[in-house]
Structure 1
């Protein structure tokens, strides 16, 4: 499958091999997942431009299943390339500590990011949404032109 340009990943482990070299769009389910899996998908995907993170199984959600982000020793080249990530879309964002660690890592190391879109879960209270927005706005960004969209 050398022509793979879009993938929807849902699972606990997936051996990517060399399949992701041509990947441009990635939709990644954040349910029951270890963030290291996402990092392992970013590493072999130098052409990735638009990752979409989404929790689709919120009825089974338990915060304790979320693993602590082990920040990689080396930053995936996808984030550092001249034509690296352009858009990050995160649907059903909860503002949990592990989610904040991942968004902070991506925003900090994505030097070409143009837009970061965060949509909070529907059941988030207004005060919680305000706190999430404030924290996102204060996140360090590697791209000086990155626009934050929340809502």
Structure 2
């Protein structure tokens, strides 16, 4: 891709870049530089991409969707500097070192990464109210999501149960918890969530703020049951717990799933427990 030196797109607000070949970062960054009012950017980096590094620095940007493939990518690092960003979708399966900074207005984020080895990825989204996360690793200590009200956690990875425990501990004002498997991961057939190690003390969000639990794709395995029972037992203000039971993947009878959770104690006397059988 080549960008003419005198080109300018003064009115362009939405840009989708897909199936574009970059020799290096210069054409990509040059294109962004001629879009002074760009608000919505979606970029898909190809599997055989030769670009090694890039910077997205767009002062006007409000929405960014960035997809980085794992296979064949030569990407080594990237940087995101978007001070007006309100929504971020980051799917980085390459585990590339990145610098994410200057996003004080971010309200909603969707983070699908190999790991949280680069701590600034998680630090950059601690101010959001709505977060969707999938990662193989837990993130580092010292992060507090004091604005987070709605968390969707994908449980297709081995360490998902520990990641859940960490988010419960670090999200004191969480109101809605959705445990599921992201649509893009439905064909992975992993969902080998490890066993639950309950926190040493009950998280603040269970004591004071959690109102809704939705579990989409509940298999009824011991680790699933332990998490569900723990939340029901400790969430004092829980109003509804909706369980979508999936008996196709694991040989746990639906009736047994229902009985186990129905008979478990609940901290909230007004909690409604709803079971839905998945097709």
Q: For the superposition of Structure 1 and Structure 2, which TM-score range results when normalised by the shorter chain?
A: 0.7 to 0.9
Alignment counterpart, residue 231 of structure 2, candidates 106, 109, 134: 106
Give the aligned partner of residue 54 of structure 1. Answer: 180
RMSD: 2.2
Aligned residues: 147
Deviation per CA, 1:45-101: give whole Å up to 9, x if none. Answer: 1111000000233543346x32111111111111112xx110100001111110001
> Structure 2-normalised TM-score?
0.49
Q: Which has the higher contact order (CA 8 A, sep 6+)?
A: 1
Pair 1:122–1:68, CA change in 2 (3 A): closer
- Please list, as runs of the form range in 1=range in 2, the aligned pairs for 1:1-151 lying within 5 A after superposition: 1=104, 3-15=127-139, 17-18=142-143, 20-34=145-159, 35-56=161-182, 57-62=185-190, 65-81=192-208, 84-121=209-246, 123=248, 128-151=253-276
Unaligned 5+ runs, structure 1: none
Unaligned 5+ runs, structure 2: 1-103, 105-125
Deviation, structure 1 residue 141: 0.8
> Structure 1-normalised TM-score?
0.86
**Structure with more of its chain in helix, by fraction:** 1
Aligned-partner SS, 2:274: strand
Aligned-partner SS, 2:165: helix
Out of 53-62 and 87-96, give the one that drifted further.
Answer: 53-62
Give the Cα–Cα distance (whole angstroms) in 1 for the partners of residues 143 and 230 of structure 2: 24
